[in-house]
Amino acid sequence: MRTRDEAVKSGPLHPVARLPQEWLDALKARGERAFSAKQVFSWIQRHGVMDPTAMTNLPVRLREALAEEGLGPVGEVAHVHRSADGTRKLVVRLKDEATIETVLLPSVSGPGSAASEDADAAVADDEDDEVSTDKREPRVRVTQCISTQVGCAMGCVFCASGVAGWKRHLGPEEIVGQVLIGRTLLDEGEELRNVVFMGMGEPLHNYDATARALRLLTHPEGIGLSTRKVTVSTSGLVPEIERLGKDFEGKIALAISLHAADDASRSALMPINKKYPLAELMAALRGYPLPPRRRITIEYTLVSGKNDDPTEAQRLVKLLRGLPVKINLIPMNPIEVSPLGPPQWGRVLAFQKVLTDAGYTCFIRRRRGDDVSAACGQLVLLGAKPKVKGFRKGDAPDKASEPPPRHS
C-alpha cells in the first residue's frame, strides 16, 4: 500500500503501478469478485497485456471500466538501435512526448564469459545457489538497464544523461513499463534474467517511484524477478541509501558510482559529493544491511588524467578497507559534449592490478553497445542542449588503445 507521503508526491496511481492488494481494494469498491484482482495484475505484469479488451477471462463490464480508467501502454518504442555485439538500445516515447532510453544486454558467451558478465551488467548474485530444474534448451540470459528519470540532476561530468539537467521523474508505471516493453523485443532464445537501475537518472532521487517499481518487478504474481537479480545504482544519496536498506532489508543489490577516493577529486567529477562527502557515504555503506555472502558493487569510471593514476587506486584500497565489495572499473565511454575520455589501456590494467593485489575482486567493464551510444554513460536526453562542465578548456583525453576482446 502507498504511504500518505507517496500518494501526495505522485498523485493518483496509474493502473500499471498498482500492486495486487490495491487492485483488490479498487475492484471490491466496484462490487467485482476478489479473484479478478489477481487476474488483472497477472495480465499486466506477468503477460504484459495493456489492452483491457484482450483480458478474455474478465467480465465485459470490468474490461470496459479498465479502459475508461485509462489502462493502456505507458509509452511506445520510437527507435531500436541494434549494436554489432547484440546490444539493443530502445528509445521509448512517453505519453507527454518525452523520450527515455533503455538497453537490452544479452549475456556474453565463450571463454571468460562467467567473469565478464559481472563486469558487463553488475549482476547481483555473488553466491547464486539456485539449482535449475528447467529441461529446456539453455537460453541466452538478458540484462535490461532501465531509466528512472527524464534527464538527470546529478551533473556527473562523464555521463551524457545529465547534459541538460533534470526534466522530470518517471512514474513507477513508466519505470516498469520499460521492462514490459523490453520483454516483447527479446530475440528468439533470449530470457530476461536481470534488471539494473543504471539508465538515465538517479534512481534514489526518485525514491518512491523506484521503490514501487522494485516491488512490482519482484512480485511473485508478476514478472517475479528475484531480489538478487535486481541492482539499484546510486551516485551516493546517503539518506535514501539508508531508506532502501531498511525498506527492502538489504535484499536489493546496491551499486555505488564512486569514481574517486578523495573528496576534492570526487566533487570535481560528481557535484553530489559536496552534499554527501565520502565519510558520510562510507558510513552509509557500512550500515547497509547486506545478507550473508553478498557484496556492494563499486563502480569506478576511469577518466584520463582525472582519477586513473595508480596512486588513486591505492587511495581506493584504503577507502574501501573492511567493506564487502566488488569493483567494476569502467574506462570512460566517450560522449559528444565532453573532451574527456578513457585512459590508455596499460593504465587501466595498472589500476586494476593495484586493486587485485590488495585482495579485491575487480573487473573491467566490457564495452557493450558503444557503436549505438548504448554503453555506460552514453544514454542521452534527446534534443538536450549540452551543459558541459567539470574540465578546463584544452583538456583532452589520451588516445586509448583498444582493449582485448575478453578480460576479467
Mark whether 146 and 12 lie in a shared domain: no
Mark whether 271 and 308 lie in a shared domain: yes
Candidates 145, 152, 156, 376; catalytic one: 376
CA atoms within 13 A on the CB side of 15: 24
Structural domain harbouring 33? 4-69
**Domain assignment of residue 134, yes or no:** no
Q: In tens digits, what is the pLDDT along the chain, a chain of 408 residues?
A: 444 344 435 568 999 999 999 999 999 999 999 999 999 999 999 999 999 999 999 999 999 999 999 899 999 999 999 988 889 999 999 999 999 999 999 986 544 443 344 444 445 445 444 444 555 666 899 999 999 999 998 988 877 666 667 899 999 999 999 999 999 999 999 999 999 999 999 999 999 999 999 999 999 999 999 999 999 999 999 999 999 999 999 999 999 999 999 999 999 999 999 999 999 999 999 999 999 999 999 999 999 888 999 999 999 999 999 999 999 999 987 766 566 788 999 999 999 999 999 999 999 977 554 444 434 444 444 444 444 443 333 333 333 334 433 333
Beta bridge partners of 190: 140
Mark whether 22 and 86 lie in a shared domain: no
Last residue of a domain, one of 69, 95, 113: 69
In terms of DSSP bridges, do strands 99-106 and 88-94 run parallel, antiparallel, or are they unpaired?
antiparallel
Which CATH number goes with the domain that contains 8? 1.10.150.530
Q: Give yes or no for a contact between 332 and 371, defined as CB atoms under 8 angstroms apart.
A: no
Mark whether 287 and 161 lie in a shared domain: yes
Candidates 101, 173, 174, 299; catalytic one: 101
Which CATH number goes with the domain that contains 337? 3.20.20.70
* DSSP secondary structure string for all residues of 34-91: THHHHHHHIIIIIT----GGG-TTS-HHHHHHHHHHT-S-SEEEEEEEE-TTS-EEEE
- Total structural domains in the chain? 2
Mark whether 64 and 80 lie in a shared domain: no
Mark whether 121 and 35 lie in a shared domain: no
Q: Please indicate whether residue 145 is annotated as part of the active site.
A: no
**Domain assignment of residue 380, yes or no:** no
**Domain assignment of residue 8, yes or no:** yes
Mark whether 264 and 299 lie in a shared domain: yes
Q: Please indicate whether residue 173 is annotated as part of the active site.
A: no
Write out the three cell numbers for 31: 462490487
**Domain assignment of residue 382, yes or no:** no
Q: What is the pTM of this model?
A: 0.84
Mark whether 144 and 262 lie in a shared domain: yes
Mark whether 155 and 219 lie in a shared domain: yes
**Domain assignment of residue 132, yes or no:** no
